[in-house]
């Protein structure tokens, strides 16, 4: 398995304030924003994506830990089978799954885990059927 893409997720108190802040700094908005409580921007020449989810949004609960200062990286998966394989590998390698494999209310399929040092990631299939 390989992660085709990686991006970061931050939890924020006020998505409008966050959107205004990064817009004023001159960062490019990521035009894939389909959520009202999300600000998303491209950073650097490689256009690294950072999503900023409002703390009380439903999607924030799935993609972040709820902390406003912690970052969680997302690894993309291509199939449901791959998501399940990642989950098994994480468990076997000694990681901790803190959001079990599931499909959320928007239809995205994935899970979230911490490595042995507590660094958090999630694996997400972006098919949202």
Angle made by CA atoms 101, 88, 113, in degrees to the nearest 5: 55
65/54: higher pLDDT: 54
Buried-state track 39-71, b at ≥16 Cβ within 10 A, e below 16: bbbbeeeeeebbbbbbbebebbbbbbbeeeeee
Domain count, the chain: 1
> Is 24 within the bounds of a domain?
yes
Domain that holds residue 77: 6-125
> Is 70 within the bounds of a domain?
yes
Residue 60's pLDDT band, with cuts at 50, 70 and 90, is low
> Is 1 within the bounds of a domain?
no
> Is 109 within the bounds of a domain?
yes
pLDDT of residue 4: 77
- Reported as a single tens digit per residue, the pLDDT across 101-120 is 999 887 889 999 888 768 78
Average pLDDT of the residues in 65-87: 82
pLDDT of residue 50: 87
Average pLDDT of the residues in 76-102: 92
CATH code for position 80? 3.10.180.10
> Is 80 within the bounds of a domain?
yes
Q: What kind and span of H or E run contains 90?
A: helix 80-92
């Amino acid at each position: 398995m390989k992660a085709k893409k990686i991006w970061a997720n931050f939890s924020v108190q006020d998505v409008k304030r966050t959107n205004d802040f990064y817009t004023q700094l001159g960062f490019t908005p990521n035009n894939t924003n389909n959520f009202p409580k999300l600000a998303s921007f491209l950073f650097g020449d490689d256009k690294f994506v950072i999503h900023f989810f409002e703390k009380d949004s439903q999607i924030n609960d799935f993609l972040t830990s709820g902390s406003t200062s912690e970052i969680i990286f997302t690894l993309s998966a291509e199939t449901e089978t791959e998501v399940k394989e990642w989950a098994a590998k994480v468990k076997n390698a000694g990681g901790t799954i803190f959001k079990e494999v599931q499909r959320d209310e928007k239809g995205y399929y994935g899970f979230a885990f911490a490595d042995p040092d507590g660094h958090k990631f999630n694996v997400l299939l972006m098919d949202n059927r």
